[in-house]
Amino acid sequence: MTAFPRRPISIVGPTASGKSELAIEMAKALFPKDRCEIVSQDAYQIYRFMDIGTAKPEKSQLASVPHHMIDIKDPWQESSAASFQKEIRQVMQECAKRGVRPILVGGSGLYARSAVDDLSFKPYSPLLRSQLEEKLNEEGSLSLWKEIEKSDPAAAKSIDPRNERRVIRALEAIKSCGSFSSCLPTYSYLFPCLQIGLDLSREELDKRIENRVEKMREAGLEEEVKGLKGKMSKTAAQAIGYGQILSYLRGEISREEAYEQIKTKTRRLARRQMSWFGRDPRVHWLSAQNPDLLVHALDLVKRADNGEFDERDLGPKAPSRRPLGSV
């Protein structure tokens, strides 16, 4: 890959922590010394017509700084971490050739790692995948999750039994590698990178999630789901909000139940994101509630540019020793 003029920045953390807003503020603050463009590393913002439920940046935000990896697929098209990696690395290569520093943004754990880490995705047996999908259709995801719990209890704790795609992926890894963790890559950057994580108290995080979902309701999430007419790939259908609203539209649950389920699932997602990124010793954690957040983030960029962090960028360990969500 062509060398970047300055090391890329990756902003990670739980949903609703303000990652997109910080990225835009940083890009503006670093200009004109730095030409920065934002690259989404979100698993679902790649889909057109799925704007409200995936919390895409507003049109004014998208216009204020160039954005990439948003609206690149139709909802009925499949995606995967492997295909996403190929697409996002092509975007980053183009940024490097133009002398642009990418600011990557997103809380999709594996997708974020696929963008910056030296990892490749091992193709699993099509026969194994077919067998697992058949079993899923016959017995449901909870039955498959119990297999994970029996074979790899530690992995089971980090996997939502209702997330069919993740359950199958984990079982594939266990059956192919012996355990889920042994199939995960080590923390090794493909190129020097600065990762900034946004942390906030559980109480504040839950409040932000509550507000975000209510704004989605007011913005017309139901109309957005109606417009899709059920034409969603397995990947797109995993996005929180869409399945719940479809259940409501089919009369299976009430409107209030749908939105309560969205809030509950989003809170669970946020906890998993904090657990995933909290294990990465390279992330520099900042409080999302700090009024001087931008100042502290820019200071980290300055220190990284001055060579203070080595290529592994293991950085200050103290913040990552405390449980995330305790700020």
Residue 159, token pair as written in the block: 């996997």
Same-domain pairing of 151 and 278: no
Same-domain pairing of 279 and 151: no
For residue range 61-98, list pLDDT tens digits in order: 999 999 999 999 999 999 988 999 999 999 999 999 99
Q: Which of 143-157, 180-194, 306-320 has the highest mean pLDDT?
A: 143-157
Mean pLDDT of the residues in the chain? 91
Average pLDDT over residues 172-189: 80
Looking at residue 311, its pLDDT comes to: 58
Same-domain pairing of 33 and 92: yes
Return the CATH number at 138.
1.10.20.140
Top-confidence residue, 326 or 211 = 211
| DSSP string for 303-322 | HHHTT-S-TT-----HHHHS
Nearest to 310 by CA among 194, 219, 196, 207: 194
For residue range 218-271, list pLDDT tens digits in order: 999 999 999 998 899 989 999 999 999 999 999 999 999 999 999 999 999 999
Residues 6+ apart with CB under 8 A from 182: 173
Strand partners, 198: 286
- The verdict on residue 41 lying in a domain is yes
- The verdict on residue 208 lying in a domain is yes
- The verdict on residue 4 lying in a domain is no
Same-domain pairing of 73 and 147: no
Domain count, the chain: 2
Residue 25 and residue 251: Cα distance in Å, rounded? 43
For residue range 154-179, list pLDDT tens digits in order: 888 878 898 888 898 889 888 887 87
Residue 89 and residue 91: Cα distance in Å, rounded? 5
Top-confidence residue, 12 or 153 = 12
Contact 35, 101 (CB under 8 A): yes
Q: Which domain holds residue 262?
A: 9-119+191-321
Which of the four pLDDT bands, split at 50, 70 and 90, describes residue 323? low
pTM of the model: 0.88
Looking at residue 319, its pLDDT comes to: 44
Same-domain pairing of 299 and 220: yes
